[in-house]
Structure 1
Amino acid sequence: MTQSVVVQVGQCGNQVGCRFWDLALREHAHVNKRGLYDEALSSFFRNVDSRYVKPAVLVDMEEGVVNQILQGPLREVFDSTQLLTDVSGSGNNWAVGNMTYGSAYREKIVDKLRKAAEQCDCLQCFFLIHSMGGGTGSGLGTRVLSLLEEEFPEVCRIITSIYPSAEDDVITSPYNSVLAMNKLTEHADCVLLVENQSLVDIVNKIKIMSHGTKPGLIIKRNSTVTSGQGGLSGAEKPFDAMNNIVANLLLNITSESAKVRA
């Protein structure tokens, strides 16, 4: 059975990744009413003592988001030994994430990537989720990307990159994005570019459609496209609606990949 490893880097990458696993489990529960471990789940999870465990690597140089995941409903999905955090963050600086933390944590990151790969029967690809504007997402995210090419040159690397909007209030985000983009062109096999302002526009359109009355132009309010309410995440959080759009994009890609394998 072919499998994929998801690597989540930075605050944005981990928030989007959390939304992805939330929606993926909800989608599977909707189809598989009995909750049995089947071929669809085996593409992303291992069955360990009747518990679904995801071969994934979560990296952030701040503890906040990863700690929320460990304390939330998805805590049983992740292997705590595959999480790597620091306390100070990268200060919205690409060089700090890429060079300082990238060098300091290189061996630990490689070790966790290898362990995640070893858990797969037949590793198909890596999905890396990160932002382009933040220091950890852009700097350390692209450093992890280069390590993936170095350690697993034959394995496909599919990257989901979240770009800052033109009105981003972080003054270094344009520089971080340019420096990160250079690394993406060197080391990525496929890059899915998502821009923050576009996500805002899509969310606003979805809100209008979810309250619409015209046939064919209505989106159900409890749909996984509209929000995370009713899922594992509990109460709606800031950026959840935007992260849902990216999570649905990844769900569609992995769904098509499963169809191809079948």
Structure 2
Amino acid sequence: MTQSVVVQVGQCGNQVGCRFWDLALREHAHVNKKGVYDEALSSFFRNVDSRNSDGGACEIGGRIHYLKARAVLVDMEEGVVNEILQGPLREVFDSTQLLTDVSGSGNNWAVGHLTYGSAYREQIVDKLRRAAEHCDCLQCFFLIHSMGGGTGSGLGTRVLSLLEEEFPDVCRIVTSIYPSAEDDVITSPYNSVLAMRELTEHADCVLPVDNQSLVDIVNKIKHMSQGGKPGSVIKRDSAIISGQGGLSGAEKPFDAMNNIVANLLLNITSSARFEGSLNMDLNEIAMNLVPFPRLHYLVPSLTPLYTLADVNVPTRRLDQMFSDAFSKDHQLIRADPKHSLYLACALMVRGNVQVSDLRRNIERLKPSLPFVSWSQEGWKTGLCSVPPVGHSHSLLALANNTCVKPTFIDLRDRFNKLYRKKAHLHHYLHVEGMEQSCFTDAMASLSSLIEEYHHLDATKGRLMPDAPRLTIAT
């Protein structure tokens, strides 16, 4: 059995990560009625002998286990981690795997990446190695961070480069939360573009999620719950509103947004955590969906949306679930995939769905989806038999699609507005090791990435006889 380690960096990364562990425990408790520590649990949790444990007691299937999450928590402002340690999941995290400071990174990528990255390098590496040593067969690192602030963008991408340095053969899947245009962090365009260069160079896959799409989805779900249909009410113990994701205190406005990202992680890891007739290894995602090393940004979409809210609505036709996965309304970034080009696509299905249903829907949808000419069969499928708690099925689609280009162009434009005036630049250049060339290099990297997507878009509808062929097995 393989194991994976989750690395949570910054306020957003730790809040999303904490919600993931909360939901994962809930799923395992629902499935594991006998309360036995098994391979499914071992994929993301380790069992600690109670005599040597500093706590960590969790009830699974009516039995008490001393579980520790395979996680490393890093934040240079200690508030959120302290909140986690005072919340209901406090015993799930190994205290030796937490790293905090008090002052934060001041919304400055350079402080996170260079100042804290250098000061805490050895401690971070030590915690990563320790997490890896607890695994029999380490398959993947999941990094969760945001792009707009200083710690998430700066230290988060420094951790990513350390993962590549220390564990070059272990897959690195990054979930990156992108700021919206109305973001209240003025320097977020700088932080995001500087982080983009690191993601492009050091990640195997990046799952981009933008805040505005999360807001839109939360509003859709609330609208569904207030639609006036009998039973169409969000349950109290639901994935959209329950329990602050293992944090203490009152519900915060962004908790519902964090929960959606946690559900993305729940779905992408389901094949690693549970059995299925067509399970997908995590390292197969990069192998099958990334034909060119830099073009590894995979657009996620979740369907049906009501599984995120546990809304009691009649089950829609299975085929509709597949159709919705290719609608811009279900994507976690604002983009239109059907008017762009697909390089490859993965469908990760959970629940009572047959392989024949999967293949029938792919054949049905294929004619309407523009794939590059050399990858018409560019599909990867996974089928996990365990659905989300309380539902019959769900679907996560990961699309390697050129529709990410407008998001990156918008980011570049926002960067340029600041950079042309040299606004706020002195805050970065005062940081030891930071030079103006870091900005120009990051901008050149992003422009090059945009150009690569643009080149592929230009081939839409045209044959590319000299291009490498990508064969993807299901």
Question: Which of 220, 224, 229 is matched with 1:209 structurally?
Answer: 224
TM-score, normalized by length of structure 1? Answer: 0.94
Q: Distance in 1 between matches of 2:236 and 2:86?
A: 25
Q: Distance in 2 between matches of 1:23 and 1:219?
A: 20
* Deviation at residue 33 of structure 1 after TM alignment: 3.3
Question: Does residue 66 of structure 2 align to residue 46 of structure 1?
Answer: no
Q: What is aligned with 2:3?
A: 3
Structure 1 residues 229-240: aligned runs within 5 Å: 229=243, 232-233=246-247, 235-240=250-255
Structure 1 residues 56-75: aligned runs within 5 Å: 56-75=71-90
Question: Which residue type is aligned with residue 19 of structure 1?
Answer: R
Q: What is aligned with 1:226?
A: 240
Structure 1 residues 71-86: aligned runs within 5 Å: 71-86=86-101
Question: Does residue 106 of structure 2 align to residue 91 of structure 1?
Answer: yes
* Deviation at residue 56 of structure 1 after TM alignment: 1.1
The alpha-carbon distance between structure 1 residues 167 and 79, as it changes in their structure 2 partners (threshold 3 A), is same
* Deviation at residue 227 of structure 1 after TM alignment: 1.6
Q: Distance in 1 between matches of 2:118 and 2:99?
A: 14
* Deviation at residue 132 of structure 1 after TM alignment: 0.1
Question: Which residue type is aligned with residue 109 of structure 2?
Answer: W
* Deviation at residue 223 of structure 1 after TM alignment: 6.0
- Higher RCO (CA < 8 A, seq sep 6+): 1
Question: Which of 116, 130, 140 is matched with 2:131 structurally?
Answer: 116
Paired-residue identity, %: 82
Question: Does residue 13 of structure 2 align to residue 13 of structure 1?
Answer: yes
Question: Which of 165, 182, 185 is matched with 1:167 structurally?
Answer: 182
Question: Does residue 166 of structure 2 align to residue 151 of structure 1?
Answer: yes
* Deviation at residue 55 of structure 1 after TM alignment: 1.9
Q: Distance in 2 between matches of 1:72 and 1:23?
A: 15
Post-superposition Cα deviations, 1:85-107, rounded to whole Å, max 9, x if no partner, equal: 00110000000000000011101
Question: Does residue 122 of structure 2 align to residue 104 of structure 1?
Answer: no
* 8 Å contact kept, 1:222–1:230: no
Question: Which residue type is aligned with residue 69 of structure 2?
Answer: K
Post-superposition Cα deviations, 1:47-66, rounded to whole Å, max 9, x if no partner, equal: 11230111211000011000
Post-superposition Cα deviations, 1:1-42, rounded to whole Å, max 9, x if no partner, equal: 200000000000000001111111112222223433222111
Q: What is aligned with 2:280?
A: 260
Q: What is aligned with 1:194?
A: 209
* 8 Å contact kept, 1:228–1:244: no
Q: Distance in 2 between matches of 1:182 and 1:223?
A: 40
Q: What is aligned with 2:402?
A: none
Q: Extract unaligned runs of 5+ from structure 2.
A: 50-64, 274-278, 282-383, 385-474
* Deviation at residue 225 of structure 1 after TM alignment: 3.4
The alpha-carbon distance between structure 1 residues 211 and 28, as it changes in their structure 2 partners (threshold 3 A), is farther
Q: Distance in 2 between matches of 1:60 and 1:257?
A: 27
* 8 Å contact kept, 1:26–1:231: no
Question: Which residue type is aligned with residue 77 of structure 1?
Answer: V
The alpha-carbon distance between structure 1 residues 164 and 39, as it changes in their structure 2 partners (threshold 3 A), is same
* Deviation at residue 133 of structure 1 after TM alignment: 0.3
Post-superposition Cα deviations, 1:226-254, rounded to whole Å, max 9, x if no partner, equal: 22249744653331100000000000000
Q: Distance in 2 between matches of 1:212 and 1:165?
A: 28
The alpha-carbon distance between structure 1 residues 178 and 257, as it changes in their structure 2 partners (threshold 3 A), is same
Question: Which residue type is aligned with residue 158 of structure 2?
Answer: R
Per mean C-alpha deviation after superposition, the further-off stretch among 123-132 and 69-78 is: 69-78
Aligned residues: 261
Q: Distance in 2 between matches of 1:168 and 1:231?
A: 23
Q: What is aligned with 2:467?
A: none
Q: Distance in 2 between matches of 1:218 and 1:139?
A: 42
Question: Which residue type is aligned with residue 122 of structure 2?
Answer: E
* 8 Å contact kept, 2:21–2:69: no
The alpha-carbon distance between structure 1 residues 182 and 218, as it changes in their structure 2 partners (threshold 3 A), is farther
Question: Which of 261, 278, 281 is matched with 1:246 structurally?
Answer: 261
Q: Distance in 1 between matches of 2:187 and 2:128?
A: 29
* 8 Å contact kept, 2:2–2:272: no
Per mean C-alpha deviation after superposition, the further-off stretch among 64-73 and 252-261 is: 252-261
Q: Distance in 1 between matches of 2:245 and 2:182?
A: 31
* 8 Å contact kept, 1:228–1:240: no
Question: Does residue 215 of structure 2 align to residue 182 of structure 1?
Answer: no
* 8 Å contact kept, 2:9–2:155: yes
Q: Distance in 1 between matches of 2:159 and 2:246?
A: 28
SS, match of residue 227 in structure 2: coil
Structure 1: 4+ residue segments shifted above 4 A: 217-220, 230-235
* Deviation at residue 180 of structure 1 after TM alignment: 0.2
Post-superposition Cα deviations, 1:107-138, rounded to whole Å, max 9, x if no partner, equal: 11000000000000100000000000010000
Q: What is aligned with 2:56?
A: none
